[in-house]
Amino acid sequence: MRSQTDSAGGLRHLVTLDGLPRSLLTAILDRAESYRRIPGQPAYEGRELAAITVANLFFEPSTRTRASFDLAARRLGAHVLNLDLQSSSRVKGETMLDTIYTLEAMNTDVFVIRDSEAGMPEFLIDHVAPHVSVISAGEAHLSHPTQGLLDVMTIRTHKRRFEGLKVAIVGDIKHSRVARSTARALATLGTTDLRIVGPQRLLPGEHEFPGATRFTRIEDGIAAADVVMMLRIQKERMAEAAALDGEAYFREYGLTAKRLALAADDAIVMHPGPMNRGVEIDSAVADGPRSVIREQVNNGVAVRMAVLAAIAATLTRHRRPL
Amino acid sequence: MRSQTDSAGGLRHLVTLDGLPRSLLTAILDRAESYRRIPGQPAYEGRELAAITVANLFFEPSTRTRASFDLAARRLGAHVLNLDLQSSSRVKGETMLDTIYTLEAMNTDVFVIRDSEAGMPEFLIDHVAPHVSVISAGEAHLSHPTQGLLDVMTIRTHKRRFEGLKVAIVGDIKHSRVARSTARALATLGTTDLRIVGPQRLLPGEHEFPGATRFTRIEDGIAAADVVMMLRIQKERMAEAAALDGEAYFREYGLTAKRLALAADDAIVMHPGPMNRGVEIDSAVADGPRSVIREQVNNGVAVRMAVLAAIAATLTRHRRPL
Amino acid sequence: MRSQTDSAGGLRHLVTLDGLPRSLLTAILDRAESYRRIPGQPAYEGRELAAITVANLFFEPSTRTRASFDLAARRLGAHVLNLDLQSSSRVKGETMLDTIYTLEAMNTDVFVIRDSEAGMPEFLIDHVAPHVSVISAGEAHLSHPTQGLLDVMTIRTHKRRFEGLKVAIVGDIKHSRVARSTARALATLGTTDLRIVGPQRLLPGEHEFPGATRFTRIEDGIAAADVVMMLRIQKERMAEAAALDGEAYFREYGLTAKRLALAADDAIVMHPGPMNRGVEIDSAVADGPRSVIREQVNNGVAVRMAVLAAIAATLTRHRRPL
């Protein structure tokens, strides 16, 4: 895969957090904080993406992430194309490239792509023009870089440090692109105590998540944790979790107030959404004083604005003259 | 339900016209007139909704009303999210709230909601943040407040008064949210002679439409009327109307030039659209000199701009400081 | 059909290139060149369509053409409504007109319409208000005027003349609206040597394409040609082409490097897209140095901007005063 940064170190693409230096991540988070407006404040409106066209290619349904990217781009002045496309498995290779080249020829500058299969974002990076960028909005179980960034942005706001932090991620780690990207961001920023927690069959292969400690009992995994991040458990994984139904899963792994009391006194509770209340998390915890779940959503828009603005600044250097 | 106005009397939500004072309705109509541009004039473009995000949540298909709200918001500078959502009956309660909270966390300021079932707009009003507003774009058979407002705006333009006016609404009153909202707006503005006209089985319960006179013969109902408002008759109601088909309904209740001659000489003809020509209204009447049906559509955009602008002005007072 | 130009010669509608004078076509091409930005340059952003509302009525699925019109309109400052409509055959006549009148009443200024059946664009021209314009984005097998314009724009860039030019169009001419519109544009601009090339059963009726030479062998048709334009061959036409499958068609009519060597040394290769690689064109040719296929897409946005801007300028003269 081609580099995600240009020779000046500017962000060109964002399909994985692997290999991106701490300084770049920190710069994105700093920029995101300048864009963040909490609900009730008027949203930031800027022109950083003026004359930029962003095409959202979502091969997987997504209301939340698409709305987040859509608003992020429009609030910075971009034109956004939301394209209805068939499942990427039916348009692989040449046909997909012709679609991309067609959109490039219409002066599309940024492709935001979400796909339940692996490989398309990297394939695109290797084929787009020098003045075009690719952002992954979720790729199979592998990568969801803007989610990883919004998670560490949320942690930074509350914890002001990454070194020495104890972070527990609980749930279906094996199939989770969120867990992978967040773990990567945490590692880059200096967190060394990462716990991955879930039923044995939902834990990842042993070579994945290097340095993380594995737990199959949630009580052990979240003990003294500063951050407890719950993942969505999907119905089709219930059997793999050896839980016959949501209630059984909740009894073994659901985050309740009682379990949360095992974590640090000032632990924050995170969830990438959408939540299954009563399955992986109790409503009282989801809506409780420790929950920063809505802040994550709020930071998501800010992080996507920051990524888009950073990419637009890089593209400016690769523009052809008029 | 929480109040639709704030302590300063500013419009916060609009899900029903019940309880709104005449002064507020008049202020909205006055503002709508300042926004109205007849076809052929360039549309009004303003910044009243700059940095405002409006989410259209339509649980019921609607090309016309959605386009009207969409254009109204965008012509005042808003960002509009058009979300594809499942039928609200499948996402009630917690799940719906999580969607709303998620969109709030993305700095959505206004929710425009249309639903074939009752209850969602009120439910949302009771749960949204203090800086977020809810507008109903049609709720079951109960309420369609912007339609009520555009109807009285149209009447005001042509009649210049509401007191002493004779208004007949003809058709399926029982299932009509339009009839309920327009009747309410007329009552608030001073009209006392309201006739509701239709087959017995399509007239509402006896406690509804207080003060209105009921007619089962259209000739009686529209006699000397200043305003004749025809409602769409839906195929699935034909049986209830004891009419086997559209032709039979037209013979009994269709508005023809001959029947219109029974109304006042300067009577206007209204219809909320979409029309069934040859069922509830003859084409010659729909397109004739007395018809103000297209003016209603034109006023619809202006009224929605006025409602959005009034709400935005109120929200400004409830903003959190930067 | 009413005239497509107003009394001052300004463009009012564009549903066919038939009857439009060379001076008007040249003016559109000149304007399009001022809007053209090659990929890598920042897209042109203007306010030529400020306060203009464009409604895209696509009765036939189209990702490419719709995106092209959408971006063209938005980059000039228009509001764009993308409407999901049923097949026009189900909404003909009165119902269609009511939709149009409704959108007119919302101050829609321009209708862009694409339909697999014939007649709707002309029908609309005959019914819209004096301050409303109609643009065809593809009508049955008959007309695709903006495609014709982008084709001649691309030819002009490379050949700098139309007189004396040898142009071959190869494929399913019979069912191609592209071929018809491009042939018309070429004739208006002075090209007299047009060859239409394809299997006998896919050639048009003998009274169509007056003055064109017909070929059933591609080698004969493209000999010494300055421009070779390949058309998409659709699977359902394979039988008519007497080719059992794509491979058989490719053997007889596919454009290969070897066949292209028969054309002029500096011949350009065109295709309206989307391509069937390996059916009507070899990938090596599609992506080769003679191919201007992506330039066509790029010019497509510029031509649509020019058409919209020309129409907006005309509409300004037909506006009603405020």
Chain segment C272-322, per-residue pLDDT in tens:
999 999 999 999 999 999 999 999 999 999 999 999 999 999 998 888 887
For residues A50 and A316, give the distance between their C-alpha atoms in angstroms, rounded to a whole number: 11
Interface test with C, best of A12, A90, A98 (most C CBs within 10 A): A98
Helices in C20-63 by DSSP H: which ranges? 22-35
The CA radius of gyration of chain A, in Å to the nearest whole number, is 20
Q: In chain C, what percentage of residues exceed pLDDT 90?
A: 87
User: Using a CB-CB distance cutoff of 8 angstroms, which residues of chain B are in contact with residue C52?
Assistant: 42
Q: Which of C43, C64, C283 sits opposite A102 (nearest CB)?
A: C64
Size of interface A-B (CB pairs under 8 A): 76
User: Using a CB-CB distance cutoff of 8 angstroms, which residues of chain B are in contact with residue A295?
Assistant: 105
For residues C204 and C75, give the distance between their C-alpha atoms in angstroms, rounded to a whole number: 38
Interface test with B, best of C106, C131, C314, C317 (most B CBs within 10 A): C106
Rounded to the nearest 10 degrees, what angle do helices C64-75 and C293-318 cross at? 50
Q: Locate the chain C residue with the closest alpha carbon to B277.
A: C94
Handedness of CA C105, C111, C113, C117 (dihedral sign): positive
Distance between C306 CA and the closest CA of chain B, angstroms: 20
Q: Which of A43, A64, A273 sits opposite B51 (nearest CB)?
A: A43
Break chain B into its structural domains and give their ranges. 22-143+298-318, 145-293
Tokens standing for A301?
A: 């828009």
C interface with B, Cβ–Cβ below 8 Å: 50-53, 79, 81, 83-85, 94-95, 98-99, 101-107, 129-132, 318-322
Contact B273 C102 (CB under 8 A): yes
Q: What is the predicted pLDDT for the residue at C112?
A: 98
Q: What is the predicted pLDDT for the residue at C203?
A: 96
Distance between C320 CA and the closest CA of chain B, angstroms: 5
Q: What is the predicted pLDDT for the residue at A264?
A: 98
Q: What is the predicted pLDDT for the residue at A304?
A: 98
Q: In chain C, what percentage of residues exceed pLDDT 70?
A: 97
A270 bridge partner residues: A229
Contact B107 A43 (CB under 8 A): yes
Nearest alpha-carbon partner for C226 in C266, C184, C185, C171: C266
Residue B274: is the preceding peptide bond cis (ω within 30°)? yes
Q: What is the predicted pLDDT for the residue at C217?
A: 98
Tokens standing for C124?
A: 């609309």
| C22-143+298-318 against C145-293: fold identical | yes
Q: Which residues of B30-64 are buried (b: 16+ CB within 10 A; e: fewer)?
A: ebbeebbbebbebbbeeebbebbbbbbbbbbeebb
Tokens standing for B34?
A: 């300042």
Tokens standing for C100?
A: 């149009």
Q: What is the predicted pLDDT for the residue at B87?
A: 59
Architecture label for domain A22-143+298-318: 3-Layer(aba) Sandwich (3.40)
Distance between C72 CA and the closest CA of chain B, angstroms: 18
Where would I find the beta strands (DSSP E) of C35-77? 53-58
Distance between B114 CA and the closest CA of chain A, angstroms: 18
Q: What is the predicted pLDDT for the residue at C234?
A: 81
Q: Locate the chain C residue with the closest alpha carbon to A50.
A: C45
Whether C89 shows a pLDDT value over 70: the answer reads no
- Higher-pLDDT residue of B230, B60: B230
Q: What is the predicted pLDDT for the residue at C94?
A: 63
Whether C91 shows a pLDDT value over 60: the answer reads no
pTM, two decimal places: 0.96
User: Using a CB-CB distance cutoff of 8 angstroms, which residues of chain A are in contact with residue B319?
Assistant: 40-42
Neighbours of chain C (3+ CB pairs under 8 A): A, B
pLDDT confidence tier of residue C86, bands split at 50, 70 and 90: low
Whether B91 shows a pLDDT value over 80: the answer reads no
Q: Which of B50, B102, B320 sits opposite A40 (nearest CB)?
A: B320
Contacts of residue A105, defined as CB under 8 A and 6 or more positions apart, other chains included, come to C39, C294, C295, C297, C298
Interface test with A, best of B80, B104, B106, B109 (most A CBs within 10 A): B106
User: Using a CB-CB distance cutoff of 8 angstroms, which residues of chain C are in contact with residue A98?
Assistant: 273-275, 277
Distance between B275 CA and the closest CA of chain C, angstroms: 8
Contacts of residue B314, defined as CB under 8 A and 6 or more positions apart, other chains included, come to B5, B6, B8, B10, B11, B12, B133
DSSP annotation of C118: S
C interface with A, Cβ–Cβ below 8 Å: 37-43, 45, 63-64, 67-68, 70-71, 74-75, 273-275, 277, 283, 294-295, 297-298, 300-301
Angle at A120 between CA A115 and CA A124, to 5 degrees: 130
Model ipTM? 0.95
What residues in chain A have per-residue pLDDT under 50? none
- Higher-pLDDT residue of B145, A87: B145
User: Using a CB-CB distance cutoff of 8 angstroms, which residues of chain A are in contact with residue C71?
Assistant: 53, 79, 81, 106-107
Q: What is the predicted pLDDT for the residue at B322?
A: 79
pLDDT confidence tier of residue B89, bands split at 50, 70 and 90: low
Interface test with A, best of C285, C292, C298 (most A CBs within 10 A): C298
Q: Which amino acid is at B230?
A: M
Interface test with A, best of C33, C71, C150, C291 (most A CBs within 10 A): C71
Q: What is the pLDDT of residues C195-245, one digit of tens each?
A: 999 999 999 999 999 999 999 999 999 999 999 999 999 877 777 777 778
Whether B316 shows a pLDDT value over 70: the answer reads yes
Q: What is the predicted pLDDT for the residue at B131?
A: 93
Architecture label for domain A145-295: 3-Layer(aba) Sandwich (3.40)
Please check whether the domain covering C145-293 is classified as CATH 3.40.640.10: no
The per-residue pLDDT of chain B, averaged, comes to 94
pLDDT confidence tier of residue C88, bands split at 50, 70 and 90: low
Distance between C28 CA and the closest CA of chain B, angstroms: 24
